[in-house]
Amino acid sequence: MAHTGKTVASAKSKTKPVISTAMLPMEGITDVQGADGVYLQRNDVMFTAMKHTQGEFSDFFRALRDEGKVFGHRCPECRHLIIPPFMRRCPACNFVEMKKEYVNDTGVMVATPVITVFAPSRFKGQEPFGTGRVFLETADGKLSETAMLVRVRTTRGTIRPGIYKRGTPVKIAFCDSRHGEMLDIFAVPQKELTRRQLAKSPLLESEIEWGRLSEMEFGKPTAQLQKTLQEVRVHFQKLAEMIPHSPRATANLANWRRTVTVRTSGGTFGLVVDKGKLQVRKQGVKDPDLVVAVQDPSILLAWLRDSTEPVGDSVKSPALTDLVIEGTLVLNKPELETVTRLDRVPRSLRRDNVVIARSAKANQKTPC
Amino acid sequence: MNDVAIVGAGMTPCRSRWVEKTFWELAQMAVSEAVHDAGIHIQEVEAGVAGIYNDIFEFQAIPESGFQGIIGLQNKPLMRVTNGGATGAYAMLAARNMVASGQHDLVLVLGVEKALDCYDFEAESSTPAVVQTIGYSWDPWFERPLGAHASESYAEVIQAYMDEHPGDLAPMARAKIVELLCEQAQNNPYAQRLGEKVTADQVLHSRYVVYPVRVLETCVYTEGACALIFASSEMAQKIKERTGREPIWLTGVGAANEPYFVGNDITRYKVLHRIYSDHVATKKALKMAGIAIEDVQVIELHDAFIPQLMITLAEMGVVPLGRANDLVEEGIILPGGKLLVNPSGGLVFGGHFVGGSNMMSTWSAMREMRARNLEHGLIHGTGASLSMYGVAIVLERRA
């Protein structure tokens, strides 16, 4: 009998640690103010590292990694085909053993996928991301009885509503570098692919043309648009000058460094987030970390006015994250963190009384 | 099966964070309140059930072990129940069965939870760490690695329902319910969001957490505890003689958990646009109590997300599936309507200390039934991936 548990092949290693070292606190006990006195809190972690077995699912994940194929399990009695193959025996048929069956890499969405804007700790930096469930097609042209959760992507900028809906035909594409896990694959709408791409199995990520934001053209700016853009620059400058007066707003931008070029139909400018501060540049920055494109600069102006001027309970502008999710602000890569941090600043300015609310603002406790 | 009555209830205030209290102290506060409310001595209690959802929130595996001795049940049985978001309701079900079976005459059921000690040192915020901690509830092979988490999962159900019933769960109907629950919470002295005013307009302009769900449509994270005392009819009679107060009776219970994986056959898989567990659990509970949904005057419903509250009410039969906007448009749950829903403010405004939220719902429903002279109440708990766990409990006030 083979020596079980012995490593027979090394992992195709990823180069980063499982969790970011920035998530690990330093040892220490701090005094915190409570309602009726001072209390102690200790920095700690609930820490258990894993060599987590993939057990009976290993075959499925190896097929993703090594073959670029998906398989399910079919019950020989009731003929149900399940994907992913999450069990080996069919309970409806009193646990008769199911048979492995490869399925096509095409299928349809069970429902409109959802888009995560605020992610759990270990998925920070991946937002916005779409997740949805797919019924895959079987060799006989039918659909699987169960659906598989996958990441859904678009070739045209960041994921946003309107790209997918219930029944959208999709193709499962494969990452070029695969490790044997669910993130090795993702769905793309079939209508975004060429006939040749659709015919290819497995279709690799590198074989898909991903939209490039720098190619978005706005045409020559009108005098009015340029004027609006100038107002945007002035208001961003005003916002930047308020931030050092607000400890909360400074904390919102702490431990984050990004250079950003903002492109609009009224022209281009730059933003730099560094050391808890925001700087505004008249022109776009060279080799920016992030490019943000928005057709109409007055969209940004509305957000800035809400952020820097006293308003009542009724804030008129959507949050920047909502503008991304709705597709009004388009990012060149799916990295929402900079925008999320900027979105927290206006509330912080109010809470620190740097911007005074016009009416008694609701003391809103929200989970985000 | 013997009749089971609730003879006492005790709550701590709901707070987003109690730096002043550990979960041991929160548990003791609630138990102390409950036994005093029941007019009993803790030594009379024969057994206990502790609802604690998540070990990580408590920073301890088998977190209930420390209770023994603290809550006065030394050398007596204490069973811990953990069943996702529905932990509180399932703990009540277990305690009820201990009494109904005739095994015990007086049983304590306690729900407690911490949450906001979880902290993301990178983001310098608790929220991503709390969301991650809950996210550990998804399977580690197929769904969790993709970033599945509570809001994502419930949003999938909500979106699938909207695909099935276009136009239902209308933004304004949802926003009006948020506004209503906020107003109702102001009558709950323990509510986490006491003193807040949230308008429908604010809801419509609030940020998306997971599209299509907005931040003001989601429940809060809460630390707190709630304890209830369950008694056999004989014991309830004795306690009534001492206190002069009529107990509230548990006359129907139902529970159902849907399968984890989504598919096309509701008898074998989760059908994404349904919360079938709520349908099955409610039907069972009502049948056992011998009443119809129309007989229920107050529902304390587990509103993890407002659109889910609307779907659940439809699954319960308050309105047909696809007609959940009627809850607002026909004024069914508005002031003066025929059904009172979440007078506590629910989990969105009252608070959601997961292990005990459904007990808070029970505390609130009992309070309303006594104050408003209502005969029947319904408690609901949901939880786990895709809202797959469902529990319903019928309360009855016998005049």
- The secondary structure of B257-309 as a DSSP string is E--SSBBS-TTTSB-TT--HHHHHHHHHHHHHHT--GGG--EEE---SBHHHH
Q: Of all helices (H) and strands (E), which one includes residue B132?
A: helix B127-135
| Residue of A46, A57, A114 lying closest to B59 (CB–CB) | A46
| Residue of B121, B123, B147 lying closest to A126 (CB–CB) | B147
Give contacts of A321 with chain B, Cβ < 8 Å: 207-208
Q: Residue B230 is part of a domain; what is its CATH number?
A: 3.40.47.10
Q: What is the pLDDT of residue A360?
A: 42
Q: What CA–CA distance (Å, rounded) separates B126 from B204?
A: 25
Closest residue of B to A54, CA-based?
B141
The structural domain count of chain B equals 1
Closest residue of A to B261, CA-based?
A146
Domains of chain A: 56-211 (no CATH), 223-351 (3.30.1050.10)
Q: What is the pLDDT of residue A307?
A: 82
Please, what's the largest Cα pairwise distance for chain A?
80
Q: What is the pLDDT of residue A317?
A: 80
Q: Establish if A343 touches chain B: CB-CB under 8 angstroms.
A: yes
Q: What CA–CA distance (Å, rounded) separates B337 from A340?
A: 40
Yes or no: say if A184 and A148 are a contact pair by the CB < 8 Å rule: no
Q: Establish if A179 touches chain B: CB-CB under 8 angstroms.
A: no
Q: What is the pLDDT of residue B200?
A: 96
Provide the residue-wise pLDDT of chain B in tens; the chain has 399 residues.
Answer: 788 999 999 999 999 999 999 999 999 999 999 999 999 999 999 999 999 999 999 999 999 999 989 999 999 999 999 999 999 999 999 999 999 999 999 999 999 999 999 999 988 899 999 999 999 999 999 999 999 999 999 999 999 999 999 999 999 999 999 999 999 999 999 999 999 999 999 999 899 999 999 999 999 999 999 999 999 999 999 999 999 999 999 999 999 999 999 999 999 999 999 999 999 999 999 999 999 999 999 999 999 999 999 999 999 999 999 999 999 999 999 999 999 999 999 999 999 999 999 999 999 999 999 999 999 999 999 999 999 999 999 999 997
Q: What is the pLDDT of residue A334?
A: 77
Closest residue of A to B133, CA-based?
A120
A131 to B146: CB separation less than 8 angstroms, yes or no: yes
User: For the complex shown, is ipTM > 0.90?
Assistant: yes
Q: What is the pLDDT of residue B139?
A: 98
B142 to A182: CB separation less than 8 angstroms, yes or no: yes
Q: A67-100 burial, b for 16+ CB within 10 Å, e for fewer?
A: ebbbbbbbbeeeebbbbbbbeeebeeeeeeebee
Q: List the alpha helices (DSSP H) in A189-222.
A: 195-199
Is B135 inside a domain boundary?
Answer: no
Is B109 inside a domain boundary?
Answer: yes
Q: What is the pLDDT of residue A310?
A: 75
Yes or no: say if A243 and A253 are a contact pair by the CB < 8 Å rule: yes
CA distances from residue A337 to A216, A366, B392 in whole angstroms, order as listed: 22, 18, 40
Is B40 inside a domain boundary?
Answer: yes
Give contacts of B145 with chain A, Cβ < 8 Å: 181-183
A114 to B199: CB separation less than 8 angstroms, yes or no: no
Residues 6+ apart with CB under 8 A from B40: B7, B8, B106, B229, B239
Matching residue, tokens 């894993």: A50
Is B287 inside a domain boundary?
Answer: no
Q: What is the pLDDT of residue A355?
A: 84
Q: What CA–CA distance (Å, rounded) separates B313 from B90?
A: 20
Nearest to B171 by CA among B207, B209, B212, B199: B212
**Cβ-based contacts under 8 A for chains A and B:** 212
A146 to B210: CB separation less than 8 angstroms, yes or no: no
Residue B261 identity: F
Q: What CA–CA distance (Å, rounded) separates B329 from B332?
A: 8
Q: Establish if B150 touches chain A: CB-CB under 8 angstroms.
A: no
A149 to B16: CB separation less than 8 angstroms, yes or no: no
Residues linked to residue A74 through DSSP beta bridges, in sequence order: A81, A99
Is B136 inside a domain boundary?
Answer: no
Q: Is B121 exposed, middle or buried, given 0-12, 13-18 or 19+ CB atoms closer than 10 A?
A: middle
Yes or no: say if B184 and B313 are a contact pair by the CB < 8 Å rule: no
Is B70 inside a domain boundary?
Answer: yes
Give B193-214 pLDDT, tens digit per residue: 999 999 999 999 899 999 999 9
Provide the residue-wise pLDDT of chain A in tens; the chain has 368 residues.
Answer: 567 778 887 766 667 899 888 899 999 999 999 999 999 999 999 999 999 999 999 999 999 999 999 999 999 999 999 999 999 999 999 999 999 999 999 999 999 999 999 999 999 889 899 999 999 999 999 999 999 999 999 988 789 899 999 999 999 999 999 999 999 999 999 999 999 999 999 999 999 988 665 556 788 889 999 999 999 999 999 999 999 999 999 999 998 999 999 999 999 999 999 999 999 999 999 999 998 999 999 999 999 988 888 765 556 788 898 898 888 898 887 788 899 899 989 888 988 888 875 444 444 444 43
Looking only at the bridges linking them, the beta strands covering A106-109 and A129-136 are antiparallel
Q: How far is A215 from chain B (nearest CA, A)?
A: 27
Q: What is the span of the domain harbouring residue B22?
A: 4-115+221-243
Which sign, positive or negative, has the C-alpha torsion B164, B166, B172, B176? negative
Q: Establish if A131 touches chain B: CB-CB under 8 angstroms.
A: yes
> For residue B96, how many other CB atoms are within 10 A of its CB?
21
Q: Establish if A38 touches chain B: CB-CB under 8 angstroms.
A: no
B146 to A151: CB separation less than 8 angstroms, yes or no: yes
Q: What is the pLDDT of residue A216?
A: 64
Q: What CA–CA distance (Å, rounded) separates A184 from B97?
A: 47
Q: What is the pLDDT of residue A346?
A: 87
Q: What CA–CA distance (Å, rounded) separates B118 from B361?
A: 25
Nearest to B295 by CA among B251, B254, B331: B251
CA distances from residue B105 to B50, B109, B244, B252, B376 in whole angstroms, order as listed: 17, 13, 19, 18, 24
Q: B310-347 burial, b for 16+ CB within 10 Å, e for fewer?
A: bbbbbbbbbbebeebbbbbeeebbeeeeebbbbbbbbb
Q: What is the pLDDT of residue A12?
A: 67
B146 to A150: CB separation less than 8 angstroms, yes or no: yes
Q: Which long-range contacts (CB under 8 A, 24 or more apart) does A199-202 make?
A: A201/A68, A201/A69, A201/A104, A201/A105, A202/A68, A202/A69, A202/A105, A202/A173, A202/A174
B197 to A113: CB separation less than 8 angstroms, yes or no: no
A112 to B162: CB separation less than 8 angstroms, yes or no: yes
Is B204 inside a domain boundary?
Answer: no
Yes or no: say if A46 and B56 are a contact pair by the CB < 8 Å rule: yes
Yes or no: say if B93 and B393 are a contact pair by the CB < 8 Å rule: yes
Chain B segment 309-368 residues within 8 A of A by beta carbon are: none
Q: What is the pLDDT of residue A119?
A: 92
Q: What is the pLDDT of residue A218?
A: 82
Give contacts of B258 with chain A, Cβ < 8 Å: none
Mean pLDDT computed over every residue of chain B: 97
Is B34 inside a domain boundary?
Answer: yes
Q: What is the pLDDT of residue A319?
A: 87
Residues linked to residue A203 through DSSP beta bridges, in sequence order: A173
Matching residue, tokens 């597709």: A327
B262 to A57: CB separation less than 8 angstroms, yes or no: no
Give B256-305 pLDDT, tens digit per residue: 999 999 999 999 999 999 999 999 999 999 999 999 999 999 999 999 99
Q: What is the pLDDT of residue A357?
A: 58
